[in-house]
């Protein structure tokens, strides 16, 4: 690479991103069509075939697809089985949730105080908002971390900075001491556990296990009906997913992508070749954490509520399950896995699927779905390591 007499072979003609990744165009097209279709069918903007809650579920699914892409990049491409990305997702949700809850409560309080003979002071407003938000955990003081909760730009920055910084510090500590493989997985799981336990406490300033609620009401758009808001958020989620896909498709292609794939396959050899393995891993880990935070910030306003149970280690393991079922090492695989499994989960556990009668025993999907999922997951791991995405290989191979 340093010096060669044959520039033609050493430097192949530079090909465009889309050319090296034909799936990007396909994906963008399909996502665009899907977005258009949902908008037309939606209650708020179109003919009303899809209910508002359905649009929300689809929008949330897009956010889950985005975090699944992050997981795929960090695990499928870089070989770090992180069991902590849902923690970053949740932190993003908490960061935006603080603003949503604070700003909306402030509007409500100001409205109720507007009729008073004497206008309220800032302190009175803050106190009233605090009492409203933290009365449930028996506290009357605004926690320090809520100092900027009233400011949208700062909280938006937090969506990116908090998960990013946590990932940076944690990743630096972990990669620096060469924690790899299952050890790293357990360590990330421990981090997630610590975070969720921390958030479960009432006195840490995030309302303990009550979590943040009422997030579906957007301050500044309180007059907009939920049916319209749901479509707006759907668009935002679709845009974020498209942008994320493009970003990561670009990241994993080219030289950078080759290096992280090489790290996945043989970390020691890459290190001996002179690459700063820790730097690459840290970059990938932090970047995916940031994007996960953004996905979370889009997800929770649609879900309406966030609580520490969302961050529990099990959620991150499910994330790994989605990616594995969809197919690791290909971005669209992650999207397929996340969309299929999460939609099927909510369909089957929500009682939407018909139950099957086996003579005397009635097969209830709500009871058996997790058993089927668990065993199906074992089967996928054993027999189809490439996941659903692997099916595409057969399609592509048919062409000459």
Partner 1 sequence: MLRRLRRVPLCACLIFLGLFVAPIAAPTAAHAQSTSDTPLQDVLQTVQAQVASPSRGTVPDVLSALLERDAPGTVEFLRAWQDRGIVERPEDGLFFVAHETGGMVELIDIDTGAVVEQVSTRDVNQIRPNAGVRREINAALVQFELMNPDPARRIAALESATRSPDPEQIPALELALDAETDARIAARMERLLDLLNARFTTDTATRVDAIDGLRGDISTEARRVLNQLLQTRSDFAQTLPDDANIARIRTPGQDMDLHAAYRVLSDAGLFPPRPGRNAIRDALRANVVDGAVGGIPVHQLDTDEARRTAYRALQDAGTVPPLVTQADMEAAVAQYVFFDAYLEPDATVTDAASTALDSTRTRIGAFQALSLSLDALSLASIFFLAAIGLAITFGVMRVINMAHGEFIMMGAYTGYVVQTLIPDYTVSLVVALPLAFGVTFAAGVAMERLVIRHLYTRPLETLLATFGISIALQQLAKNIFGTQARPLTAPDWLAGSLALNDIVSISTLRVGIFFMALAFLLLLLFILNRTRLGLEVRAVTQNPGMAASMGINPDRINMLTFGLGSGIAGVAGVAIGMYAQVTSEMGANYIVQSFMTVVVGGVGSVFGTLAGAGLIGALQKGIEWFNPTNTLAAQTYMVLFIILFIQFRPKGIVALKGRAAGD
Parallel, antiparallel or unpaired: strands 305-306 and 361-363:
unpaired
Task: List the beta bridge partners of residue 50.
Answer: 42
For 138-177, letters b (16+ CB in 10 Å) and e give: ebeebbeebeebbeeeebeebbbbbbbebbbebbbebbee
CB 396, min distance to partner 1, A: 24
Residue pair 219/107 in contact by the 8 Å Cβ criterion: yes
254 lies in the binding site for partner 1 (CB under 8 A):
no
Query: Cβ 59 to partner 1, closest distance in Å?
Result: 26
Can you say whether residue 104 is alpha, beta or left, with left for phi > 0 and alpha for psi between -120 and 50 degrees?
Answer: alpha
- Return the number of the residue (110 or 160) whose C-beta is nearest partner 1: 110
- The residue range among 27-35, 198-206, 236-244, 388-396 that interacts with partner 1, by the rule CB under 8 A, is 198-206
Q: Does 9 bind partner 1 (CB under 8 A)?
A: no
Stretch that binds partner 1, among 60-68, 186-194, 276-284, 331-339 (CB under 8 A): 186-194
Q: Cβ(319)–Cβ(334) under 8 Å?
A: no
Each residue 329-368 as x (binds partner 1 by CB under 8 A) or -, in order, gives --------------------------------------xx
Q: Considering only 99-107, 159-167, 181-189, 228-236, which stretch makes contact with partner 1 by CB under 8 A? A: 181-189
Q: Is 119 in the site for partner 1 (CB under 8 A)?
A: yes
* Cα–Cα distance, 40 to 265 (Å, whole number): 45
Q: Which is nearer to partner 1, 23 or 209 (CB)?
A: 209
Kindly tell me which of 178 and 269 has the beta carbon lying closer to partner 1: 178
Q: Give the burial class of 185: count Cβ atoms within 10 A of its Cβ; 0-12 exposed, 13-18 middle, 19 or more buried.
A: buried
Q: Is 81 in the site for partner 1 (CB under 8 A)?
A: yes
Q: Which residue has the tokens 């808001």?
A: 229
Asked if 10 touches partner 1 (CB under 8 A), the answer is no
Give the footprint of partner 1 on residues 200-219 (CB under 8 A): 200-201, 203
DSSP 206: S
* Least distance CB 311 / partner 1 (angstroms): 12
Applying CB under 8 A, which of residues 18, 247, 314, 388 lies at the interface with partner 1? 314
CA angle 332/327/33 to nearest 5° reads 25
Q: Distance of CA 122 to CAs 87, 112, 127, 172, 257, Å?
A: 34, 14, 9, 42, 52
Q: Is 304 in the site for partner 1 (CB under 8 A)?
A: no
313 in contact with partner 1 (CB under 8 A): yes
Backbone region of residue 148 per phi and psi (left: phi > 0; alpha: psi in -120 to 50; beta: other values): alpha
Q: Give the whole-angstrom CA distance, residue 230 versus residue 39.
A: 10
Q: Does 135 participate in binding partner 1 (rule CB under 8 A)?
A: no
Query: With binding defined as CB under 8 A, does residue 371 bind partner 1?
Result: yes
Least gap, CB of 4 to partner 1 (angstroms): 35
Binding positions for partner 1, 160-179, rule CB under 8 A: 170, 173-174, 176-179
Q: Is 8 in the site for partner 1 (CB under 8 A)?
A: no
**Gap between the Cα atoms of 40 and 342, Å rounded:** 23
* Interface with partner 1, residue 198, by CB under 8 A: yes
Quote the least distance from Cβ 206 to partner 1, whole Å. 13
C-beta closer to partner 1: residue 44 or 389: 389
Q: Does 114 bind partner 1 (CB under 8 A)?
A: no
**Does 190 interact with partner 1 (rule: CB under 8 A)?**
yes
Cα–Cα nearest to 384, from 348, 337, 346, 319: 337
Comparison of 187 and 277: residue with beta carbon closer to partner 1? 187
Name the packing angle between helices 52-71 and 331-349 (round to 10°): 140
Does 124 interact with partner 1 (rule: CB under 8 A)?
A: yes
Q: Are 152 and 99 in contact (CB under 8 A)?
A: yes
Which parts of this chain interact with partner 1 (CB under 8 A)? 81, 116-124, 170, 173-174, 176-179, 181-183, 185-187, 189-191, 193-194, 197-198, 200-201, 203, 313-314, 317, 320-321, 324, 367-371, 373-378, 381-382, 385
């Amino acid at each position: 690479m340093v010096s060669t007499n044959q520039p033609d072979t050493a430097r192949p003609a530079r090909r465009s991103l889309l050319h090296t990744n034909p799936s990007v165009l396909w994906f963008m097209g399909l996502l665009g069509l899907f977005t258009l279709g949902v908008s037309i069918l939606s209650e708020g903007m179109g003919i009303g075939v899809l209910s508002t809650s359905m649009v929300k579920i689809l929008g949330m699914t897009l956010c889950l697809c985005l975090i699944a892409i992050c997981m795929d990049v960090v695990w499928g491409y870089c070989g770090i089985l992180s069991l902590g990305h849902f923690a970053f997702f949740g932190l993003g949700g908490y960061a935006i949730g603080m603003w949503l809850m604070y700003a909306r409560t402030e509007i409500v309080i100001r409205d109720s105080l507007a009729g008073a003979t004497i206008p309220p002071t800032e302190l009175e407003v803050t106190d009233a908002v605090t009492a409203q938000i933290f009365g449930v955990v028996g506290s009357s003081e605004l926690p320090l971390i809520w100092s900027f909760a009233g400011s949208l730009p700062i909280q938006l920055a937090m969506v990116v900075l908090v998960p990013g910084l946590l990932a940076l510090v944690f990743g630096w500590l972990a990669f620096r001491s060469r924690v790899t493989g299952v050890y790293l997985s357990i360590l990330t799981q421990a981090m997630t556990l610590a975070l969720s336990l921390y958030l479960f406490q009432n006195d840490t300033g995030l309302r303990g296990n009550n979590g943040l609620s009422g997030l579906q009401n957007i301050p500044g758009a309180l007059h907009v009906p939920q049916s319209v808001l749901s479509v707006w958020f759907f668009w935002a989620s679709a845009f974020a997913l498209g942008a994320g896909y493009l970003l990561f498709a670009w990241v994993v292609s080219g030289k950078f992508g080759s290096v992280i794939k090489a790290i996945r396959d043989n970390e020691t050899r890459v290190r001996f070749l002179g690459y700063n393995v820790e730097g690459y891993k840290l970059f990938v880990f932090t970047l995916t954490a940031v994007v996960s935070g953004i996905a979370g910030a889009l997800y929770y306003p649609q879900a309406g509520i966030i609580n520490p149970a969302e961050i529990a280690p099990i959620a991150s393991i499910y994330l790994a399950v989605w990616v594995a079922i969809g197919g690791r090492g290909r971005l669209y695989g992650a999207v397929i896995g996340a969309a299929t499994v999460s939609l099927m989960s909510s369909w089957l556990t929500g009682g939407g699927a018909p139950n099957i009668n086996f003579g005397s025993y009635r097969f209830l999907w709500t009871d058996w779905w997790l058993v089927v999922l668990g065993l199906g997951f074992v089967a996928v791991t054993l027999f189809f390591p490439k996941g659903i995405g692997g099916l595409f290989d057969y399609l592509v191979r048919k062409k000459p």
